[in-house]
Amino acid sequence: MISSRRDFLLAAGVGGFAAGTAVAAPPDTPEDLAWLQRTLERYDGFGIKASGGPGDEASGAWLEEMLGGWGYARRRQPFEVPWFEARRATLSSGDAQAPVIPQAIVAPTGPQGLPAPLRLASEPGDLTGAIAVLVLPFKRWGALADPQVARPLADAFARGAAAAVLVTTGPTGEAIALNVTTHKPGFERPVAILAPRDAGPFLAAAAQGAPATLVVDGEGGRRPAFNVIARLERHAPKTVIVSTPRSGWFHCAGERGSGLAAWLSLARWLARSDHAVNVELLATSGHEYEYLGGEHYLAQAPASAVTRLWVHIGASAAARDWHEMGPVLRPLPSADSQRILTATADVVTPVRTAFRSIPGLEATYVADKTTAGGELVNVLAAGYPTMIGLYGSHRYFHTQADDMRCTGADLVAPTARAFRDAVDSCLRSPMA
């Protein structure tokens, strides 16, 4: 990973990724690009966005202030989330030691750690008392419930493993945190994530059954979190709902920040628009816990019968793409195309038109249970008839390296403009 913003700009060859220097088609003025860049940097500046933590709370308060300035009435919807803050999280064997990410919902080892032999879970046989090492296949990982994670992990514990270490093989060599549900108990034994770039000596040790110590020590439990809900009441018969998550495991600049900036751009435009609809905005916490904040909101959201359109701007809306050339990725001035756009059949044509030139989003899919992702899955299941939803996973998705190197105003502006065009077209069409 490039170690500084200066290195990032030099690796790009020019300083052309900075705010205000990219050329964007109207109506994005230089002032709009500067506003988007400030928005991204402000969100990134709140630090780690783990649900209910200081960064998540601060970003929520900031959004309330912004939306209030545009005339929205704001309120908070409180709920509880799990949390864990590590004092120490390491795996060591012989002379090798590496940091690990404690996998939520965390089962800690205590400060002394868990001493046990390392064993490869891919090898058959008894794992009783061992720290099982599971090397996941190459993928942009996102959730513990993924069958390629859940099945081998459950198998390792069924064979007696005392703990498990997941090597999240992916496009960057970084450790990739995994979302998890709160609706069923977590594993009662420690699970940790090891970066592929650090895995070599531990794989060799596991092949020999060498002794190791896994330390997952810290404080945790449950703490309050809140959704931000904002409403522009025009006493219209129908409401537009626009949602986005704001929480995540780390800084989440590309994963969350790029979508949040597009969401704010759409919110600002809707406040100024002449559309005869009420507007309700939602910025959820609890996203890492399989859309927990979105579930809480659905329990009290406007009914589907009075909802004209639901727009969900999810993960990696406008994150940077990178060339994979050796051990160091090289940044590109374009957005990662691994982002997916879905829309219900009644609005898919205007949505395709609005996003026709946006890489990855130009292939808009009809939203159903096989194509929808993120919080839109629950919205679809709840019976809302008209929806647009975006989700994706950029290269540094769910990693500690997802900072401002992974997005920028020049990447967000086309996506934000396309959302405005799509919503404008949908609201001007003769839908019921």
* Cβ partners under 8 Å of residue 343, min gap 6: 351, 352, 364, 365, 366, 367, 387, 388, 389, 422
Q: Give yes or no: residues 38 and 89 share one domain.
A: no
Q: Give yes or no: residues 53 and 145 share one domain.
A: no
Q: Give yes or no: residues 12 and 96 share one domain.
A: no
Distance CA 419, CA 311 (A): 9
pTM for this prediction = 0.91
> Where in the sequence is the domain holding 130, given as residue range(s)?
84-220
Q: Give yes or no: residues 283 and 406 share one domain.
A: yes
* 43: nearest Cα among 231, 245, 330, 180: 245
Q: How many domains does the chain have?
A: 2
How does pLDDT run across 385-423, given as a tens digit for each residue?
999 999 999 999 999 999 999 999 999 999 999 999 999
| pLDDT the model gives residue 187 | 85
| pLDDT the model gives residue 221 | 96
- Per-residue confidence band for 12, with pLDDT thresholds at 50, 70 and 90: very low
Q: Give yes or no: residues 104 and 20 share one domain.
A: no
Mean local confidence (pLDDT), 23-30: 51
Q: Give yes or no: residues 207 and 335 share one domain.
A: no
Domain boundary, last residue among 178, 205, 220: 220
Is residue 360 helix, strand or coil?
coil
Distance CA 303, CA 317 (A): 27
Q: Give yes or no: residues 262 and 208 share one domain.
A: no
| pLDDT the model gives residue 185 | 81
Q: In CATH, what number is assigned to the domain containing residue 178? A: 3.50.30.30
Chain mean pLDDT for the chain: 92
User: Is the pLDDT reported for residue 20 higher than 90?
Assistant: no
Q: Give yes or no: residues 212 and 284 share one domain.
A: no
Q: Position of tokens 């034994």?
A: 189
Q: In CATH, what number is assigned to the domain containing residue 319? A: 3.40.630.10
- Lowest mean per-residue pLDDT among 111-125, 241-255, 285-299, 370-384: 370-384
Q: Give yes or no: residues 399 and 326 share one domain.
A: yes
Q: Give yes or no: residues 42 and 58 share one domain.
A: yes
| pLDDT the model gives residue 431 | 60
| pLDDT the model gives residue 41 | 98
3-state secondary structure 131-167: EEEEECCCCCCCECCCHHHHHHHHHHHHCCCCEEEEE
Domain boundary, last residue among 202, 220, 238: 220
Domain boundary, last residue among 220, 243, 261: 220
Q: Give yes or no: residues 92 and 48 share one domain.
A: no
Long-range CB contact pairs, 31-34, < 8 A, 24+: 32/265, 32/413, 33/409, 33/410, 33/413, 34/409
Taking phi over 0 as left and psi of -120 to 50 as alpha, with beta for the rest, 50 belongs to beta
How does pLDDT run across 153-171, given as a tens digit for each residue?
999 999 999 999 999 999 9
Q: Give yes or no: residues 227 and 114 share one domain.
A: no
Q: Which of the two residues, 21 and 280, has the higher pLDDT score?
A: 280
How does pLDDT run across 43-65, given as a tens digit for each residue?
999 999 999 999 999 999 999 99
How does pLDDT run across 186-233, given as a tens digit for each residue?
788 999 999 999 999 999 999 999 999 999 999 999 999 999 999 999
